[in-house]
Amino acid sequence: MDLVDNLINSFKDKVLRSLDLTEDEVYALCDAVGHQSLRDAAAEISAARASRKFDACSIVNARSGKCSENCKWCAQSAHYHTSCHTYDIIDHDECMKAARYNAERGVHRFSLVASGRAVHGEALERMALMLREVKETTGMSVCASMGLLNKEELQKLWDNGVRRYHCNLETAPSHFAKLCTTHTISDKLATIRAAREIGFEVCCGGIIGMGETMHQRAEFAITLREVEPHSIPINVLAPIPGTPLADTPLISEDEILDTIAIFRFVHPTVELRFAGGRARISREGQLEAIRIGMNSGVVGDLLTTVGSTIAEDKTLIDDAGLQSF
């Protein structure tokens, strides 16, 4: 056993004793990428400390396109010319149809995700009422992702039965300003703090493969400890034509898996959630990702990219040895 393996095992033992790694220890994990022992140790942490029941959620694009923000990865930004479908607010019947479809297939969590810096006024009221109806008619837990809301706006969602709020930090603080200049991570953290003060669970993650280093991914994982998320969606960039990141080189499957391992070391009990870009990972890679730490996922079609089917996901989860939904 070499020095790197010894270091990984010492960090693993610390996490298994329910102790947090220091920032220096987290950054030291970056030197262990490419070592099988990193993934094996993350798998041990997952088996011992993370839920073995796969948490599945479904998302519906409640408002699409025409977004004022200039996030370089996003098809929905009005700053770029993409083929993104645009509409103001999802039709009520379409929303309910999607909710029933997912509920009938065992998905127990449903979220409306809206483009734009924030959802205000009548639009927020309409979406909140749709979420209330989804919860009352299907029994699913309901979540919302509606941008940089203030406490009063978040309270409206809470009053209509929403119990989890989603707001991604997207990437490391040292990298974010290279990708978006119309809002900041501080703006996001303010919304997350307001949500937590009300009582919301927080779903907060981001996208890997946007030109950041592995060290910055470790920085991102450390920053998320401030959020104390219940769920961390890990998206893999799917470069979209028309966006500034359209020609970004794809990161390798090994790099994706090593990143998941580091996130499991830093967040041993949190739901690590498959999200956008999963179709880029081979089936064998997805099985390995679940072994390492992924124990939740967005199922069905995603916002602007196509996901896998619910039936395919159930088979994958069963084959990986987790309790399916």
pLDDT at 51 over 80: yes
**For residue 309, what pLDDT is reported?**
82
Q: For the chain, give the mean pLDDT.
A: 94
Is the alpha carbon torsion for 268, 191, 184, 244 positive or negative? positive
C-alpha span between 277 and 212 (Å, rounded): 16
Summarize pLDDT for 182-235 with one digit per residue, the tens. Answer: 999 999 999 999 999 999 999 999 999 999 999 999 999 999 999 999 999 999
Q: What is the pLDDT of residues 259-315, one digit of tens each?
A: 999 999 999 999 999 999 998 899 999 999 999 999 999 987 544 444 568 888 999
Lowest mean pLDDT, pick from 106-115, 119-128, 277-286, 297-306: 297-306
Pick the closest to residue 319 from 276, 290, 282, 278 (CA basis): 290
DSSP structure class, residue 252: P
Burial 240-256 (b: 16+ CB within 10 A, else e): beebbbeebeebebebb
Confidence band, pLDDT 50/70/90 cuts, at residue 1: low
pLDDT value at residue 307? 52
Give the DSSP letter of residue 31: G
From residue 278, give the alpha-carbon distance in Å to each of 234, 235, 287, 300, 302. Answer: 9, 7, 12, 11, 10
In 10 A of CB 153, how many CB atoms?
19
Q: What is the pLDDT of residue 87?
A: 76
Contact 142, 134 (CB under 8 A): yes
State the alpha helices, DSSP H only, in 161-239.
173-176, 185-198, 214-227
**What is the rounded average pLDDT of the residues 25-46?**
96
- Strands 109-114 and 55-63 turn out to be parallel
The neighbouring-strand residues paired with 143 are 111, 164
pLDDT of 86 strictly over 90 = no
**Rg from Cα positions in the chain:** 19
d(CA 271, CA 315): 19
Residue 318 has pLDDT above 60, yes or no: yes
| 20 confidence band (pLDDT: 50, 70, 90) | very high
Q: What is the pTM of this model?
A: 0.94
Long-range contacts of range 195-198, CB-CB < 8 Å, 24 or more positions apart?
A: 195/149, 195/154, 195/165, 195/167, 196/228, 197/151, 198/151, 198/154, 198/155, 198/158
